[in-house]
Structure formats: structure tokens, C-alpha cells
């Protein structure tokens, strides 16, 4: 038996069950319900059209211009690396040929000098003639060999893996120091090793007395080379030169990643060097003295001093610049006051002018040991190792104290190793935390 329409004002009998309201209603009211539902589609269509307009107005090129610029910089760095290798091998080839021809030219001069001497003396013997003839024939054979010499150039194709470049969205890998993962590995020091470390994301360079050692991404020591140049004050990586830069208390050295060969940089004069860092085009060094100086050297085509800042532009006369780190045309300076007012603060300066952008006291008093160090973290934040209070201090990009985190054992030297590993020098070695 049919029921009355559920709409109170309607006298008609129901003919269907409305699935929207689960009521029995007549045909006209069923159509009214349907019309109301269709009307609700209109604002949804408006939202869809608005989203479509936003997407159409989105300038993709503007969104990826910075990323493309980084890809272009990588391409140019690779080209420069090839050019430098090409130039070295050309010089090596020239040197090999010159060594041969120089020896032969010296022999010609010696034979000519002996023959001239015999002519001046107007006296010779058959033995003299035989000796000269033999030397001339030997020289002739050597020159024939030189004329016919061809060098076998053996090359290997460049193995550029797709993994050489990774494309990630910002914020995908962030280091949350508040929930620091447990130590996944510790590599111990031998003897009085330097706590200074640096990475190029492929390898981390450390000092394990008496060697310099390379650690790969598996946290395995893959290469080591003897270091005989005293205590290491600081290490940094130059992506332009594709080499590590190491400073001791007097000199500055290149360390080749492939061979761990060590080369003193002759164009940098000996001083009491204390800290180093690199931009894409410059090497920055600080001196170890009250009123520390900051010096900027060009990296390419040669290493030459281009700018120097002294006290009071660099720091006050009773202050020492402990560490300096580069990021995006800025320099983070960790500065210690004199022993009488022992305290530590961090400043962010322009790498172009050394103009101070902000300054922050770190609340570290009664400093007994120096060598405070920091590293860049999460693109624009700074992580400071406070060995006096055995903690890590996180500083925001605009110079605010974000947090302090207790760390045991005492931390000395923080360094990011790739996108997911934090390395921390401690008294007995290096702790690795994998995020």
C-alpha cells in the first residue's frame, strides 16, 4: 500500500524512496531533490575552474630556475675538471718529449765542443775520431727514434652515473636534532689525531694519526695516506678544484680525493692559519691570533690573494675567529673573546664585504678550550658543537637560538655527510648518526 509523501505540506502519495534522505516522496519532490543536488555542482565547478586558472597561470620556468642554475653549475664544474685534466696531460706529454730532445741537444753541444777543441789544438788521433764518430752515430739513432716516436694515449670513457645528480623537493631530508638517531657507527682515533673533518658527500676526510683517511658512504675506510705535516687545524672541500684543502698551523695544502696525494699551495704564504672554507670561486682563510684576519683567495685559474680584512673589520683586537663556514654568499664566524672575558658568539657576515648581518651570543662562559666549530644544516640553519657544556646548539637562519641539545660524549666538530648522515668528532673518534 502506497505511503503519503514525506514532505508535510504535500498531499500526494509517494512513488519512490529518495536515497539521499531515505524518505518516501512523490515524483515532483523527487525531481526537486535532484535539482537541488545538481545546483550543488555549480560551486564545485567554480572551484575546479579557479584551480585550473591557477595552474595555467603557474610559470614553471620561474619555479625551477634555481634548480636549473644548480644543474648548469654542475655541468660547468665537470667541464672545468675535464679541462684541468686535459691541461695536465698536455703538459705531461710536452715534458716527455722535451726530456728526450733536451738530452739530445746537450749531447750535440758536448760533441760539437769536443770537435772544436780538437780543431783548435790542430792535433787528433784515430782514437779521437773513432770516439766522435761513435757518439755521432749513437746520437743519430736516438734522433731517428725520436722522429719516429708516437705516444699511445689510453683513455677511459667518463662513467657519469645517473645517481650523480639527485632531484629532491625541499624539506624531504631535514635533520631533526631533537630526535637525534642513535650512533650507527664510531670510527676511533689513533694517538693525538685532529678532530677536523670535511666531506664532499661522496667521501669524508679525517685524520687518524699518522694518516689522512677517506670514509665512504658505507662508513668504511677505503683509502689512507701518510700525513707528516703536524696538527691539522681545519679541512674544507673545493668543488671547483675537486680537492680537499687542509691547513696546519703554518701552511695550506691540497689533498687529492683519488690518490690522497698532498701538495703544498705555494702561492699562499706561511702564516698561523686556523680556519678555512670555500665558495664556488674563492677560498677563505683566517689567522690564529687576537684580532684575526680574514683573507680571500681566488680558486681559478690560479690561487691568488684578492682581498683581506683585518681587525676591527674582521673582529675586535681581543677576539679570535675560531671557525668560518660559507653558505650562499655568507660566512658564519664563530668568535671567542679573550681569556679575561671568555665567551663565544656566532655572526653571519656577507662573503663579499664582510658586513655583519646578525650576531648572537651563545651563552658559553668560562671557556678553557677553544676550537669551537659549526656546520650548515637544513639549508640555512647552523649547528654549533659546544664542548664546554657538552651540547649541540641549533641557530636559525635569521640568528635566533632555536634549541640546545645535550650530547654525550663531548662534541667537537660537526659535519654533514650527504643528505642523511651527521658526523660528530668526539674525544676518541667520530660518531655517525644516520637519519
Report the distance separating Cα 84 and Cα 78, nearest Å.
Answer: 10
Task: Please state the length of the chain.
Answer: 435
Task: Give the model's pLDDT for residue 34.
Answer: 75
Taken in order 321, 326, 329, 332, the sign of the CA dihedral is negative
pLDDT in tens, the chain (435 residues): 568 887 778 877 777 777 667 778 787 777 777 777 777 778 888 888 888 887 887 777 776 777 888 888 888 888 888 888 888 888 888 888 888 888 888 888 888 888 888 788 888 888 888 888 888 888 888 888 878 877 788 887 777 777 677 776 654 557 888 889 999 999 999 888 999 999 998 999 999 999 999 999 999 999 999 999 999 999 999 988 889 999 998 999 999 998 999 999 999 999 999 999 999 899 999 999 999 999 999 998 889 999 999 999 999 998 999 999 999 999 999 998 876 555 789 999 999 999 999 999 998 875 655 668 999 998 889 999 998 899 999 999 999 999 999 999 999 999 999 888 999 999 999 999 998
Phi, psi torsion values for 322, nearest 5 degrees: -75, -55
Tell the residue number behind the cell numbers 637544513, with chain if given: 378
| SS3 assignment for the chain | CCCECCCCCCCCECCEEECCCCEEECHHHHHHHHHHHHHCHHHHHHHHHHHHHHHHHCCHHHHHHHHHHHHHHHHHHHHHHHHHHHHHHHHHHHHHHHHHHHHHHHHHHHHHHHHHHHHHHCCCCHHHHHHHHHHHHHHHHHHHHHHCCCCCCCCCCCCCCHHHCCCCCCCCCCCCHHHCCCEEEEEECCCCCCCCCEECCCCEEEEECCEEEEECCCCCEEEEEECCCCCEEEEEEECCCCEEEEEECCCEEEEECCCCCEEECCCCCCCCEEEEEECCCEEEEEECCCCCCEEEEECCCCCCEEEEECCCCCCCCCEEEEEEEEECCEEEEEEEECHHHCEEEEEEEECCCCCEEEEEEEEEECCCCCCCEEEEECCCEEEEEECCCCEEEEECCCCCEEEEEECCCCCCEEEEECCCEEEEEECCEEEEEEC
Looking from the CA of 45 toward its CB, the CA atoms found within 13 Å total 5
- Give Dmax over CA atoms of the chain in angstroms: 151
Q: What is the spatial distance between Cα 122 and Cα 45, in angstroms, rounded to a whole number? A: 115
Rounded-to-integer distance, Cα 289 and Cα 38, Å: 79
**Quick one: cell of 350?**
656577507
Closest to 317 in 3D by CA, of 340, 297, 295? 340
The helix-helix angle for 27-39 and 41-57 (nearest 10°) equals 20
Cα-based distances in Å from 357 to 330, 332, 373, 398, 399: 9, 10, 19, 9, 9
Q: Are 25 and 12 contacting, i.e. CB atoms less than 8 angstroms apart?
A: no
**What is the structure's pLDDT at 272?**
95
Q: Are 373 and 385 in contact (CB under 8 A)?
A: yes
Q: Contact 142/104 with Cβ under 8 angstroms?
A: yes
Closest residue by Cα to residue 273 from 243, 306, 245? 245
State how far the Cα of 88 lies from the Cα of 84, in Å rounded to an integer. 6
Amino acid at each position: 500500500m502506497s505511503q503519503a509523501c514525506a514532505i508535510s505540506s504535500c498531499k500526494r502519495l509517494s512513488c519512490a524512496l529518495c536515497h539521499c534522505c531515505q524518505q518516501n516522496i512523490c515524483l515532483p519532490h523527487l525531481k526537486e531533490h535532484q535539482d537541488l543536488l545538481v545546483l550543488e555542482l555549480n560551486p564545485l565547478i567554480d572551484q575546479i575552474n579557479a584551480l585550473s586558472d591557477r595552474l595555467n597561470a603557474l610559470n614553471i620556468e620561474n619555479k625551477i630556475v634555481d634548480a636549473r642554475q644548480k644543474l648548469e653549475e654542475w655541468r660547468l664544474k665537470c667541464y672545468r675538471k675535464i679541462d684541468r685534466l686535459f691541461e695536465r696531460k698536455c703538459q705531461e706529454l710536452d715534458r716527455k718529449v722535451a726530456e728526450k730532445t733536451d738530452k739530445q741537444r746537450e749531447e750535440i753541444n758536448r760533441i760539437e765542443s769536443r770537435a772544436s777543441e780538437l780543431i783548435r789544438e790542430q792535433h787528433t788521433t784515430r782514437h779521437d775520431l773513432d770516439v766522435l764518430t761513435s757518439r755521432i752515430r749513437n746520437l743519430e739513432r736516438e734522433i731517428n727514434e725520436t722522429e719516429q716516436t708516437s705516444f699511445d694515449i689510453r683513455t677511459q670513457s667518463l662513467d657519469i652515473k645517473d645517481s650523480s645528480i639527485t632531484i629532491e623537493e625541499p624539506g624531504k631530508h631535514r635533520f631533526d636534532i631533537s630526535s637525534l638517531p642513535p650512533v650507527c657507527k664510531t670510527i676511533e682515533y689513533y694517538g693525538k689525531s685532529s678532530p677536523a673533518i670535511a666531506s664532499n658527500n661522496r667521501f669524508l676526510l679525517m685524520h687518524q694519526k699518522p694518516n689522512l683517511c677517506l670514509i665512504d658512504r658505507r662508513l668504511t675506510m677505503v683509502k689512507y695516506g701518510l700525513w707528516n705535516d703536524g696538527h691539522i687545524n681545519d679541512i674544507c672541500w673545493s668543488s671547483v678544484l675537486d680537492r680537499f684543502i687542509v691547513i696546519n698551523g703554518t701552511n695550506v695544502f691540497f689533498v687529492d680525493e683519488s690518490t690522497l696525494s698532498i701538495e703544498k699551495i705555494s702561492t699562499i704564504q706561511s702564516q698561523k692559519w686556523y680556519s678555512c672554507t670555500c665558495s664556488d670561486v674563492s677560498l677563505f682563510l683566517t689567522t690564529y691570533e687576537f684580532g684575526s684576519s680574514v683573507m680571500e683567495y681566488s680558486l681559478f685559474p690560479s690561487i691568488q690573494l684578492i682581498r683581506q680584512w683585518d681587525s676591527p673589520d674582521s673582529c675586535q683586537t681581543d677576539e679570535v675567529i675560531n671557525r668560518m663556514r660559507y653558505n650562499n654568499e655568507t660566512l658564519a664566524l664563530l668568535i671567542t673573546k679573550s681569556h679575561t672575558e671568555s665567551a663565544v658568539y656566532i655572526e653571519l657576515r656577507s662573503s663579499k664585504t664582510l658586513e655583519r648581518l646578525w650576531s648572537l651570543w651563545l651563552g658559553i662562559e668560562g671557556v678553557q678550550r677553544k676550537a669551537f666549530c659549526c656546520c650548515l644544516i637544513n639549508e640555512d640553519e647552523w649547528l654549533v658543537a659546544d664542548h664546554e657544556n657538552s651540547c649541540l646548539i641549533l641557530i636559525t637562519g635569521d640568528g635566533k637560538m632555536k634549541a640546545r641539545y645535550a650530547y654525550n660524549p663531548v662534541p667537537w666538530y660537526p659535519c654533514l655527510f650527504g643528505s642523511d648522515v651527521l658526523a660528530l668528532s668526539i674525544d676518541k673518534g667520530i660518531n655517525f648518526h644516520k637519519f
